[in-house]
Structure 1
Amino acid sequence: MTDLATPGSPSADTGPRAGAARRAAPALLAYAGVRLLGLLLLAVWGTDSGQSARHVLTRRWDSLWYTRVAEGWYGYEVRLPGGGVHSDLAFFPLLPALERLFAQISPIAPADAGMLVSWVSSLAAAWALYLTGERLYGRPAGICLAVLWAAVPVGVVQSMAYSESLFTALAAWSLYSVLTGRWVWAGALAALAGLTRPVGAAVVAAVWITALAGLWRERRRPTARMVLGLVLAPLGWFGYFVWVGVRTGSVTGYLDIQGQWGNGFDGGWAFLGFIGKNLTGSVIGGLGLLAGVALVVWLYVLCVRQRQPVALLVYAGLVLVLALGAKGYFGSKPRLLMPAFPLLLPPAVALARWRPPRAALALSGLAALSAVYGAWWLHGSGPP
């Protein structure tokens, strides 16, 4: 597997920051272009449905829960007819905290602040993806990786007042810090990722396993900065679990709350049952689900064969397992998989080998399909 770059190696970051920003500019502009296309089509689509793009991006589904947390902090519950309870403690605090902060220091409403955070975070994520792809496989691969992430079928979520963009940005920069040996940054960013989504555990695991594997391989002791990074990494994720446990009076408080929402981890049995039900009902739907699962598993196999760094393999593998093995609303699985950006590295590298006009045409086609699907999806079932 690809080792961490050593200081002074050809792949180490030696150029000035301004030069790095200029190198990333084409990737960021291309990324912004793809997302802008999706937003424009979403706005046009809304003229027929009577729902503005702003409304579907900021005031539906989970974005409403984040807004409630931002406005009144935690304590809101919905009691269901069957006796169940949906608690806002299911939602991690970093995004609503940022919404609350921006709403207090500006005239922006919390929901709009959440959308703004996502827009800025998605660009930050695209930058980290570009740098990762460039470092490992060259500049064209970095650009293709950023654009492919923008053009995934549910890429419109990156522009919503949801936590996926914020989480992916923090996770991607943490992993890039691991690749460049910046352990304090890696740990601090992993801690923030752990305050953003439950899958922050995947970032923590990637940081720890990479560090321990490197120490074992090189038979050396950790530096003080590595130790500090490893200590920082789990604080966000573990801290929120502990806080919810204290608040609910139960060690399994957060898991109990997720259970009330119908979520949890069962190793994929519920998802397999859902696929089987579709195979016996709508055969096309069941085959489509099987094809989708086969695709993401195949992409991960390609990541292993590509000999990606340990940090990326651990992170992508855990995101994949947690997404496919989770119970709950199965239509949300593509959204849960969106932060697993290393899965896009194999196709990014393949596209980078094409002639630029041919690669640009392929990426443009994917961007158009993503824009159409995103507009149709948000004005229909949408992301729960």
Structure 2
Amino acid sequence: MSTSPALRRSSSPHVARRRRWQGPPGLLPALALASALRLAGVAAVAVIDHALGRSTTTSLAHSWDSVWYLHIAEHGYGTRFRVVGGAVQTDWAFFPLYPELIRALRDVVPVSPGQAGLLIAWGAAALAACGVYVVGHHLHGRAVATALVLLWASLPHSVVLGLAYTEPLFTACAAWSLYAVLKGRWLTAGALAALAGLTRPSGIAVAVAVVVAAACEVVRRRGRVPGRLWIGAGVAPLGWVGYVLWVGRRTGDLFHGYFRVQSAWNSRLDFGAGSLRFVKALLLHGGRVAFPVAVLVVAVSVLLFCLLCLERPPPALVVFAGVLLLLVLAVSGPFSSKPRFLVPAFPLLIPPARAIVRAWCSSPARAVLVGGTLAAMSLAYGAYLAVLGHEPL
């Protein structure tokens, strides 16, 4: 029996490859909407800077942690200074992938370090939005995936997706690593988890998610798993572990040196004691607007994690979001920065994304109103944080 020409064309390996690169339906419209939202955020920052006579480049590329990453990109590691109280802070607290990419881009394109940092952050944000979409589409289809991406781009602290920060790069590595886990591509998942571990201290969350997902697969299949699963799970933590040991070697204390470096930055495991003291002081004495918003974001994130667990999604998503949330709750540091650390925890947004789709089915006007309100609040608050806020972002 002969095969029709149409069927032969559709089964051609070249056609199959082309379809794989096209991505799931709705990816480009969702990416366009998310990009438009974040570009509007950059425009809002520029408008306020112009009104105040300030440099937009400073707000976008030279604020808080951005300064450290750009300095590392230009001069390498080794900068240290003594703060009030006698602690010595060093740039070893900042992971190397982002500054290395800035240095590499500067070697091939005639741009300043700040411009290179922004180009990498903006490109990574687009890749991250695609990763968030494909995970959502794999689990719940086009409508939920679109809502998930738009919610992620509308988070109160999503302004960092347009700044020279590591959150866009980390989210891109994490989202695509989790998608590779869902598709059973263990080598890709492990390699991307290793890159995430070279991007941020919280990169260990991706490695743990990959390892736990691999362990669940081993149990489910009673040990009859391909060798690439073991390799992927073994590679996943190498980025984070490698950098931690490198810092330990530089400090002369292989296993504890990195954690002492972080302790000098007031980032240490205190099981939430510092967070509780902060909340108590806020209730008693009040504070700037960023403080109650930060508490609200963290509290809502805990609620969303509970809702996510009730939906029983794949273990990798639960573990990734859970470890990020645990690090936010159990590690000390500036509380105003904690919502930023949760920007990559996009699985937490799956329950509200599904709720928005259900609301759209019953009342499209109400869903648009809710989404538009969230977007407007995100733009206004993000511009405040980037330009007017005095708290660490």
State the TM-score bracket (shorter-chain normalisation). over 0.9
Question: Any conservation in 1 of the 2:24–2:134 contact (CA below 8 Å)?
Answer: no
1:280 aligns with 2:292: no
* Structure 1 residue corresponding to 2:94, chosen from 72, 91, 95: 91
What is the SS of the residue equivalent to 1:338?
coil
Deviations along 1:64-103, whole A, 9 cap, x unmatched? 1001100011111122243221100000000000001111
Q: Structure 1: which 5+ residue stretches go unaligned? A: 1-12
Matches within 5 A, 1:114-153: 114-153=117-156
How many residues in Structure 1 have an aligned counterpart in Structure 2? 372
1:10 aligned residue: none
Query: Which shifted more, 58-67 or 373-382?
Result: 373-382
1:373 is aligned, of 381, 385, 390, to 381
Distance 1:22 1:213, change over 3 A: closer
- Is 1:104 the counterpart of 2:107 in the alignment? yes
Does residue 360 (structure 1) correspond to residue 360 (structure 2)? The answer is: no
CA apart distance, 1:292: 3.6
Deviations 1:207-266 (A, max 9, x none): 001111121122133311111211211110000011111111102111000111111121
Q: Are the structure 2 counterparts of residues 289 and 197 from structure 1 closer, same or farther at C-alpha, using a change threshold of 3 Å?
A: closer
Q: Does structure 2 conserve the Cα–Cα contact (< 8 Å) formed by 1:193 and 1:236?
A: yes
Deviation at 1:383, TM superposition (A): 3.8
Partner-residue secondary structure (3-state), 2:268: coil
1:312-365 deviation per Cα after TM superposition (whole angstroms, max 9, x unaligned): 000000000101212111110110111111011111111122335543332222
User: Are the equivalent residues in 2 in contact too, given 1:279–1:287 (CA < 8 A)?
Assistant: no
Does the aligned pair in 2 maintain the 1:206–1:311 contact within 8 Å?
A: yes
**1:18 Cα deviation after fit:** 4.3
Q: CA-to-partner distance for each residue in 1:3-53, whole Å, 9 max, x for gaps?
A: xxxxxxxxxx99812442663011100101110111111111111222232
1:45-60 alignment runs, 5 A limit = 45-60=48-63
CA distance in 2 between counterparts of 1:248 and 1:304 reads 40
For 1:369 and 1:71, the matched residues in 2 are separated by: 36
**1:189 is matched with which residue: 184, 188, 192?**
192
User: Whole-Å Cα distance in 2 between the matches of residues 236 and 289 of structure 1?
Assistant: 30
Single out whichever of 75-84 and 272-281 deviates more from structure 2. Answer: 75-84
Classify 1:123/1:138 alpha carbon distance in 2 versus 1 (closer, same or farther; 3 Å): same
Query: What value does the CA root-mean-square deviation take over the aligned residues?
Result: 1.9
For 1:18 and 1:71, the matched residues in 2 are separated by: 36
The Cα offsets for residues 139-177 of structure 1, whole Å up to 9 and x where unpaired, read as 010011111111101111011111011001000100010
What secondary structure, in the 3-state scheme, does the structure 2 residue paired with 1:335 have? helix
Scaled by the length of structure 1, what TM-score is found? 0.92
| Bigger Rg, structure 1 or 2 | 2
* In structure 2, distance between residues paired with 1:331 and 1:150: 19
Query: CA 1:14 to 1:108, structure 2 compared with 1: closer, same or farther past 3 Å?
Result: closer
TM-score, structure 2 length as denominator? 0.90
1:1-384 → structure 2 map (5 Å cutoff): 16-20=19-23, 23-250=26-253, 251-282=255-286, 291-355=296-360, 356-379=364-387, 380-381=389-390, 383-384=392-393
Identify which range, 120-129 or 282-291, moves more after superposition.
282-291
Q: Which sits farther off after the overlay, 73-82 or 240-249?
A: 73-82
User: SS of 2:26's equivalent?
Assistant: helix
CA distance in 2, matches of 1:229, 1:307: 24
**For 1:66, what is the secondary structure of its paired residue?**
helix
Letter in 1 for 2:167: E
Structure number with greater CO (CA < 8 Å, separation at least 6) is 1
Q: Contact (CA 8 Å) 2:132, 2:148: kept in 1 or not?
A: yes
8 A Cα contact 2:152 2:349, kept in partner: yes
